[in-house]
Amino acid sequence: MMDLFDLALIASRRGDYPSAHLMLQALVDEENDPRAMSALALFARKGLGEPVDLAKSAALLARGAALGDADCAYDLGVHHANGWGVDADPTQALAWYRTAAERGHLRGNLMAGIMAFRGEGMARDLDDAERRLRANAARDDGSAKMCLGDLFAAQTERRDPIEAAHWYIETGAESVVERLTALRPELESLAAAGNRRAAHVLAAALVEYLDDPAAAAALLEPPTDPVAERMLGALLVAGRGVAQDRDRGRKLLASAATAADPVACLHHGLLVAADGDHVNAAILLRTAAEHGATAAWAPLARSLAAQGLGPEARDAARKAAEHGDRNAQLALATWCRRGTHGPVDLARRRAGTSRCSRRAMPMRYS
């Protein structure tokens, strides 16, 4: 059931700012509602239905932040960072970002981490920066991953080209090509010295971003560990950077899968499923999914469905949908609406959508 705040949002989306303003002001006056304070602050900041008034915006945010609202605290930090309606003060900006972070605000924690890394509003604190950025990265915050890459690429005591490249690759952003190119000579030196993780990370960068799969294949030969086996196997199966050799590629993938490498299990499971062996495909794909290769949930659902294991297939599809697989979200909604592979579930079919990963089957190294 919609409340007055919902009605105000509907009015604002229609462009009826006077009506929205009246409803939001009523919520502020009668209920001291911080959501309404945040919305009115936005109106004042952007001049929606009223003249731009940054001081008014800051004052409303201060009221909302004092009531414990995380969004108001974060936005107040932005005002102090930019001098919007208040004096520009990085120390105050940092304080409000930290307050927002303590209240669970992801962006507030990111900004507090960035300021700790840069030494803005405080002395540089790489420990605090890394802790905050890792916390955000664990929640799939692409900006935090990029900042972690920059942190480890910077000329500080934290410099680690392998870790920097790892986080740049994790972003899934094409904009990291220049950064990875700059790190390539160091990674090549480390790989030549026998650092296997450097070789894995560099190979992934060469295939996914630097358009040099031949160099990646040469780097991985001969494969001496499950990660190298899986990466080289995928290149051989696809014929990327090397002459296609599906038999050898599949043997390498099978060997890596035997060592329980989750991404190898995913790759090998997909090939086995394509052969029509859904029993063994499901075993491989379940191993992959349960050990972190979440892209395996959707093909697992298909292999289970092919075996007539409806409830298990629906459960796997649900997990794929929860991890942002758009096709799984749509399939699950259809199954729940029609009662396929289980009972009709009209509530489940309304499950929301989320962002899909950049690549369904990346050249992963970890």
10-residue stretch averages of pLDDT, the chain, 366 residues long:
91 96 97 98 97 98 98 99 98 99 98 98 98 97 98 96 98 96 98 97 97 97 96 97 97 96 96 97 96 93 93 90 82 73 59 38 49
User: Counting beta carbons within 10 angstroms of the beta carbon of residue 6, is it exposed (0 to 12), middle (13 to 18) or buried (19 or more)?
Assistant: exposed
pLDDT at 323: 83
- First vs last C-alpha separation in the chain: 46
Give me the helix-helix angle, 142-153 and 126-137, nearest 10°: 150
Q: Report the alpha-carbon distance of residue 13 to residue 1 in Å, rounded.
A: 18
Q: Indicate if the alpha-carbon torsion angle 332, 338, 341, 342 is positive or negative.
A: positive
pLDDT of residue 346: 57
Measure the CA–CA gap between 141 and 116, rounded to whole angstroms. Answer: 17
pLDDT value at residue 352: 41
pLDDT of residue 278: 97
- HSE-CB for 196 with a 13 A CA cutoff: 12
Q: Residue 17 and residue 289: Cα distance in Å, rounded?
A: 48
Is 81:88 a contact under the CB 8 Å cutoff? yes
H or E stretch at 357? none
Query: Taking the complete model, does pTM exceed 0.75, yes or no?
Result: yes
- What pLDDT was estimated at residue 365? 52
> What is the per-residue pLDDT for 333?
76
Cis peptide before 34 (omega within 30 of 0): no
Interhelix angle 196-208/177-192, rounded to 10 degrees, is 150
| Burial (CB count <10 Å: 0-12, 13-18, 19+), residue 61 | buried
Confidence (pLDDT) at 179:
98
Q: What 3-state class would DSSP assign to 230?
A: helix
Q: How far apart are CA 282 and CA 304, in angstroms?
A: 7
